[in-house]
Amino acid sequence: MKQARARGPFRTAVSLLVVLGSAGLLGSPSTAAPPEPPPRPLAHLFDNRGIGAGARGGGADLDGHGRALSAEALRDAGWAPGAGPTVAGAPLRLPAPPPGAPDNVRADGQRVRVTGRGDALAFLVTATGGRAPGRGTVEYADGRRSSYRLEAPDWRTGTLATSALALPRISTPEGPREARAALYVVTVPLRHGAAVRAVTLPRDPVGPASLHVFALGVRPLTSGWTGSWSAATAARMRVGPWQDPTLRLVVRPSVGGERVRLRFDNTFAAAPVRLGRVSVAVREKGAGARGKPVPLRFGGHAGVTLAAGAQVRSDPLPFRVEAGKDLLVSVSLPGHVSSLPVRTAAKQPGYVADAAGDRTRSSAGAGFAEELDHWPLLTGLDVAGGPGSVVALGDSTTTGAKTRTGADERWTDALAARLRAQDTVPRYGVLNQALTANRLLKDRYPGAGADEDTSGVRLAHRLDRDLFAQTSARTALVYLGLNDLRWGSSAAEVRTALGEVARQARARGVRVLAATLTPCGGGSRCTPGVDARRRAVNAWLRAGGGGFDAVVDFDRVVRDPGRAGRLLPAYDGGDHLHPSAEALARMADAVDLDALRPR
């Protein structure tokens, strides 16, 4: 049956209501969402001056009280306007606005035009008014979206353990003032390899806090390279002092290749460092090279300056690297050198020719009179090709505390040898990113300044730099928590921290394994209460706690069957805490190689 049409005045009234309603004149809510504003370059959205120059800051006001970052302090650190430091693998560009123009945006849901493909989006940020958390959205070229959460610490009071750059003074209307300030690089995961089109910044957080964004960029993928050797930065430490030294550092690649590149990090630094010249050679004996060292270049140049907190990779060099054969990396440092970022407890000798100038091209070991037990500046060696890398995150058990210097007896060395000797799984590179006395829950190193405590920052504060930014990281193996238990942390706290590591790794597409904690009865601070908490953590791991992809049972292969809270006497490194070299080999054998396959 047909519906009767309205006629006469009633039909006219209905028509008028339709017209008024469609025009939004009746006050009823519209069903159509307003169109999104087109994304704009970040610099076009700047609405705040956060970098002050000159005696009185030139009107810059980052925090609403006339205080700002100091342009002069930034320049002293190598972060001049327009500088492009790379931090945690992410290339960034410091703003270079015209004088008096804004140089950052207060995040409040703006859509920013961003292009590129990679594994993470990196933000150069800081916060004012307190810690500033927020959520935003990434838009991809195929129309899909992903959400992210980031958090920026306060520029004045936030922890320096995660800062990209710590400055010693700020700009005020009354003139420069000695006071710490910090910029942070925060990364969030992207859909692996997908093309990014735009990013919506977080909304302004509730309360007085503001999130200031100075730059953002996509961290590119590292396809075509495999990490063969690495060292995590533990701290900035006093060295020498030296004048115009040449460092000669020994590294043992875990996999080989026909091309090589090196990575240097100026993490935790307060000032730039100049690499005069750098070379690589096969080691003959001691500090002596087999044949003439081959120079490396950086962007086509013989040397390079690393800004404070930044990193640099050398240009690829045709150079045959043989797995398990020592290389010598020589670095000349022009000028006076009194502190450097280092990884301590290298268990591999290094050498210094002090006041000798550039000796990077010399094959002779004579003149390298001073020996080192740490790796300064050098943090990675990559080889072309290969299947990617396994990254070990740990403490002194993984650095090989009770092994012989120069013998390469860490469990990671034994694992690398196992991988090279088989054809069942790919021959992954093995990267040792352990730090002596490192913890899950506490920063031992404060994050700035030259300090005698070289135990590093907690794992959560170094996870992006020491795992996700590593070259072609496919799988992580985490052995941490015993130091936390020995210094009073509860089993529940350790479980929560380990679970967070697993969660972040899964979000980044990295396979993650956990190792059970080895016994330490009779060792320093290893009370029966500590052992009870250790067993509770191990039971949780074996039961699948934390969501790890697999568990490696280090505890089972080294404990004394008759006294499960102690190391087997034959596996005791001598202090009842650290396993011996033989025990470390057994621990490497406990790793199921098939469990290392990435997703």
CB 319 within 8 A of CB 383: no
Chain-centroid distance of CA 157 in Å reads 21
CB 200 within 8 A of CB 139: yes
Q: Where are the beta strands (DSSP E) in 35-98?
A: 51-52, 68-70, 86-87, 90-91
Report the pLDDT value the prediction gives residue 4, as an integer from 0 to 100.
Answer: 37
Q: What is the pTM of this model?
A: 0.92
Distance between CA atoms of residues 333 and 59, nearest Å: 39
Instruction: Walk along the chain (599 residues) in steps of 10 and give the mean pLDDT of each run.
Output: 36 30 37 76 97 92 97 97 94 93 97 96 97 95 95 96 96 96 97 94 81 96 95 96 98 98 97 98 97 98 97 98 98 97 95 96 95 97 97 98 96 98 97 98 94 94 97 97 98 98 96 98 97 98 97 98 96 98 98 93
Report the pLDDT value the prediction gives residue 450, as an integer from 0 to 100.
Answer: 85
Distance between CA atoms of residues 307 and 266, nearest Å: 7
The string of DSSP codes covering 186-201 is EEEE--TTPEEEEEEP
pLDDT digits (tens, 9 = 90+) for 460-473: 999 999 999 999 99
Residue 185's nearest CA partner among 288, 92, 271, 72 is 92
pLDDT digits (tens, 9 = 90+) for 160-175: 999 999 999 999 999 9
Report the pLDDT value the prediction gives residue 509, as an integer from 0 to 100.
Answer: 93
Distance between CA atoms of residues 226 and 544, nearest Å: 30
Distance between CA atoms of residues 82 and 55, nearest Å: 22
Question: For the chain, what is the radius of gyration of the CA atoms?
Answer: 27
